[in-house]
């Protein structure tokens, strides 16, 4: 699905960029050009970043036996 229509950036491209190390909206703007036109994609991009942080924050948590 396209997230940034102005620059033709898909959700997959944003997720790939996050997996490769992008950790902020600024990183995504520099790498993919998102939120540099109309800005309608900004909130969705931030949501994808927050989602990735939550996934990562639970990865190292040990569960009691």
How does pLDDT run across 26-62, given as a tens digit for each residue? 999 999 999 999 999 999 999 999 999 886 554 444 4
**What's the pLDDT at 58?**
46
Q: Which residues have CB under 8 Å from 2's CB, separation 6+?
A: 8, 9, 10, 11
How many domains does the structure of the chain reveal? Answer: 1
pLDDT of 64 > 60? The answer is: no
What CATH number is associated with residue 28? Answer: 1.10.10.1100
Residue ranges making up the domain that contains 11: 2-48
Phi (first) and psi of residue 61, to 5 degrees: -80, 125
Has residue 53 been placed in a domain?
no
Q: What was the pLDDT predicted at 17?
A: 97
Instruction: Please check whether residue 18 lies inside any domain of the structure.
Output: yes
Q: How large is the average pLDDT for residues 1-15? A: 96
**Per-residue pLDDT, 54:** 85
């Amino acid at each position: 699905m396209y997230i940034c229509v102005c620059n033709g950036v898909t959700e997959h491209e944003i997720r790939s960029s996050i997996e490769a190390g992008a950790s902020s909206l600024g990183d995504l703007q520099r790498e993919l050009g998102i939120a540099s036109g109309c800005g309608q994609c900004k909130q969705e991009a931030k949501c994808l970043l927050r989602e990735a942080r939550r996934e990562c924050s639970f990865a190292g948590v040990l569960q009691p036996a």
